[in-house]
């Protein structure tokens, strides 16, 4: 495949974002410079290192930025990236809600902006952009803006304008998520996980089930005790033996989960779409409402693996969770294709 080598600059902050950049580049034929705005979480950093190796293997340039390494790091990072931003014809981002990314967007002159999936947050981004709303993560909507939100408001508003198509500026979305409201002028391209399916698998399928963890406890949406009870009941009902931890799940929580459920806790070194394709993989993959109920049926198409989703009981939610957050979780389940509800 011939490569488009004009200045394409990609910003990622998570392994899934980098995976979806690789999927986009595979389809587009682009050879890109990928800038990793590294987080501090060790698990996320580890997965990003592995994904960076795959990106380099594919011919992309990877630039690792310790973007959160102390108070001066953001200024140093943004200053160092300024020449590349000014020279880029196309900028690809994975998290339009990121304050870091929003700040970078205000400095670019790129004529084309591409947003790749950052999981189910993409659904919320598209909806907010279509309605001209302030960009706010789904689990924070419904609350009063904090002091930092107010201070950063002008930057966020400027970034939203940059993400709105206009004269001399094209905006596209590369996604595997269902999109109900398409913002005016935004081009939608479907992510069919062709790079993943070509590079990995098909997996060896084992008996029983695997259970996919979630960070809903860590984000303050679901109560820990209720979550552990749900995991225990799901594992018993479906014969699950392994629990694939989300990269944000804490060690104390996982230690308790292993002790109370008997599940083998697995800390994946790559995004779950790649782990599942690499195998071995259970005949059924169980998940709570999350990105994988949309992505795994695509990545595992033709393998015989079934994906099932467990809805979040309102009784599991922590006090103060907004109606919007509850509706968003229901929407993840209701819009998932090729899965069954358990």
Last residue in a domain, options 191, 209, 224: 191
Give me the percent of the chain exceeding a pLDDT of 90. Answer: 62
- Neighbour-count burial for 205-215, b at 16+ CB within 10 Å, e otherwise: beeebbbbbbb
The answer on 229 and 115 residing in a single domain is no
The token pair that represents 276 in the structure block: 């599942």
The answer on 178 and 137 residing in a single domain is yes
Look up tokens 């339009």; give the residue: 96
The answer on 142 and 246 residing in a single domain is no
Q: Is residue 3 part of a domain?
A: no
User: How many domains does the chain fold into?
Assistant: 2
**Domain CATH number, residue 66:** 3.40.50
Single pTM value for the model: 0.89
The answer on 305 and 285 residing in a single domain is yes
The answer on 204 and 92 residing in a single domain is no
Q: What is the DSSP letter of 180?
A: S
Residues 127, 181 contacting (CB under 8 angstroms): yes
| pLDDT of the residue at 1 | 42
The answer on 290 and 225 residing in a single domain is yes
The answer for residues whose C-beta is within 8 angstroms of residue 40's C-beta and 6 or more apart is 68
Q: Collapse the DSSP code of 301 into the 3-class scheme (helix H, G, I; strand E, B; otherwise coil) and give the result.
A: coil
Residues 203, 277 contacting (CB under 8 angstroms): yes
The answer on 169 and 74 residing in a single domain is yes
In this predicted structure, the answer to whether residue 24 has a pLDDT above a threshold of 60 is yes
pLDDT tens digits for range 221-272: 999 999 999 999 999 999 999 999 999 999 999 999 999 999 999 999 999 9
In this predicted structure, the answer to whether residue 105 has a pLDDT above a threshold of 50 is yes
Q: Is residue 2 part of a domain?
A: no
In this predicted structure, the answer to whether residue 322 has a pLDDT above a threshold of 90 is no
192 falls in which pLDDT band (50, 70, 90)? Answer: very high
Q: Is residue 218 part of a domain?
A: yes
- Rounded CA-CA distance 242/262 in Å is 9
Sign of the Cα torsion 19, 209, 221, 328 reads: positive
| pLDDT of the residue at 121 | 78
Last residue in a domain, options 169, 191, 213: 191
In this predicted structure, the answer to whether residue 141 has a pLDDT above a threshold of 70 is no
Integer-rounded Cα radius of gyration of the chain? 20
Q: Collapse the DSSP code of 26 into the 3-class scheme (helix H, G, I; strand E, B; otherwise coil) and give the result.
A: helix
For residue 244, the cross-strand partners are 212, 266
What Cα–Cα distance (Å) separates residue 81 from each residue in 34, 76, 105, 191, 245?
A: 12, 9, 11, 28, 34
The answer on 25 and 168 residing in a single domain is yes
Q: Is residue 1 part of a domain?
A: no
- Rounded CA-CA distance 22/233 in Å is 37
The answer on 184 and 64 residing in a single domain is yes
E strand or H helix at 92, and its extent?
strand 90-93
Q: Domain containing 50: what range?
A: 8-191
The answer on 182 and 49 residing in a single domain is yes
The answer on 276 and 181 residing in a single domain is no
Last residue in a domain, options 134, 158, 191: 191
The answer on 70 and 162 residing in a single domain is yes
């Amino acid at each position: 495949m011939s490569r488009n080598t004009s200045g394409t600059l990609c910003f990622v902050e998570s392994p899934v974002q980098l995976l979806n950049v690789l999927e986009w580049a595979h389809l587009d034929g682009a050879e890109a410079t990928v800038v990793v705005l590294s987080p501090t979480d060790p698990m996320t950093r580890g997965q990003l290192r592995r994904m960076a190796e795959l990106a380099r293997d594919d011919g992309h340039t990877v630039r690792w930025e310790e973007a959160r390494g102390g108070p001066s790091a953001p200024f140093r990072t943004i200053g160092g990236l300024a020449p590349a931003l000014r020279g880029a014809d196309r900028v690809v981002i994975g998290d339009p809600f990121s304050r870091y990314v929003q700040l970078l967007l205000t400095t670019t002159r790129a004529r084309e902006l591409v947003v790749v999936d950052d999981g189910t947050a993409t659904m919320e981004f598209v909806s907010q952009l279509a309605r001209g709303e302030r960009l706010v993560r789904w689990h924070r909507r419904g609350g009063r803006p904090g002091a930092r939100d107010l201070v950063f408001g002008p930057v966020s508003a400027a970034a939203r304008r940059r993400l709105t198509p206009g004269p001399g500026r094209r905006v596209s979305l590369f996604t595997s998520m269902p999109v109900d409201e398409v913002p005016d002028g935004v081009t939608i391209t479907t992510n069919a996980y062709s790079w993943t399916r070509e590079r990995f698998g098909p997996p060896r399928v084992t008996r029983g089930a695997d259970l996919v963890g979630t960070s809903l406890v860590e984000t303050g949406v679901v109560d820990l005790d209720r979550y552990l009870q749900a995991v225990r009941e799901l594992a018993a009902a479906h014969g699950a033996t392994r629990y694939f931890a989300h990269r944000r799940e804490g060690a104390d929580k996982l230690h308790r989960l292993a002790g109370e459920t008997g599940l083998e806790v697995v800390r994946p070194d790559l995004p779950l779409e790649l782990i599942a394709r690499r195998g071995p993989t259970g005949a059924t993959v169980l998940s709570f409402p999350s990105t994988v109920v949309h992505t795994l049926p695509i990545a595992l198409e033709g393998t015989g693996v079934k994906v099932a989703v467990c809805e979040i009981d309102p009784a599991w939610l922590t006090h103060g969770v907004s109606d919007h957050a509850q509706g968003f979780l229901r929407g993840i389940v209701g819009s998932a294709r090729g899965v069954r509800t358990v």
